[in-house]
Structure 1
């Protein structure tokens, strides 16, 4: 009698196949054929759909991150190029700080000298005024002003109204024709300036007109930035902004050869 052929694991597994398992007595309530796989496949389909939804969400997140990275990289590149190509001519240098320190020392020295001069003037006795024509006529030709006359004149001077200051000559009034010509000239100058000086900001237009009129009233003279300051409306920062706009259009020339920054009027370029 020939020996039995060896049974491999595959043959042994085939004996316990799903078909036999479904028809075995261990599971009497199992459906016929492969019907028992339907609930398991339905659950598998649900899990596969959830997996697909999650994968789609990851794909959308990846697309959003890629778009953000590209935009942010472009922004950084533009900022880098702007830093490499922009020139800042008004930025302070070491020479600017040294010049500012020297000016501060000169201002302090001038203030100290003015204070000393005021103290010396306060210590100095007042000089008697000259006698008037009436007083001179009352005296004989050989007489000189007496001590009483000098004291009376001194008392008259000291009784003057305190705080009275001699008024300086004011700015001469302009005729209607001169005002019209000045207005036309201002309009021509403002037409060459940026838009913000031409009406976007009424206060800024008024400030730059005051600066220009200072130059027009004193042709040929150089002014420092302090000469234009009229607090509280026209402060130093606003004056500096107006002067920078005029210098950029070459209407005003900036000169610092003498150590002090002065601005000179050039007029409209031809």
Structure 2
């Protein structure tokens, strides 16, 4: 019999059987066979169950993240496609806003011109009426006769005839200056007086003109009333706006409310 081949030295646990190890003198009370490994195997099994639960939790988290990523990516894709394919031809642009501002300014200018034209027509009609009344008064005075050194008339009156002093006409330059002053005052008032309501703009122009025609003295509300268009309620509304802007001052020291023009 030939010599045996050399062998690699083994550790003690490998050189002896598990049976001899279990019956070693260091563990005289150890169970036979593999019984001494039961507690270690049980603990290992519990740890493996815990590891399996953690692995299942990680797998569920991964699936949840995958589902969220897919849904969110789809949402972003739909939003991008919607932005690329949807067109709004009627959406307002900067040019649209500029055109609207221009149209609004044109309407305001047209309203002011209409108000001025109407006010001028009303002033001309009033001037004509006053002229006709003055002519009628002159005709009535010419029809009087003198009898016995005393003056008599077919129509006698106990009250003297009071002639109204006609308002002096303004020159073209004065009209332009007054128009510019009125425009400057109106620009300081709320929006409703600046052309959004043509009737209210006409009323404020008439009130301002009445105050400008009486410099240095106060006017009552009734002095500015011009029926039937400009009644007392509308005059009061215009005066309230002017007083709030301190363009007109309000005085009631004499028991009668008077309004004085202050200007800007």
User: Which structure has the bigger radius of gyration?
Assistant: 2
TM-score, normalized by length of structure 2?
Answer: 0.44
Considering Cα pairs closer than 8 Å and 6+ residues apart, tell me whether 1 or 2 has the greater RCO: 2
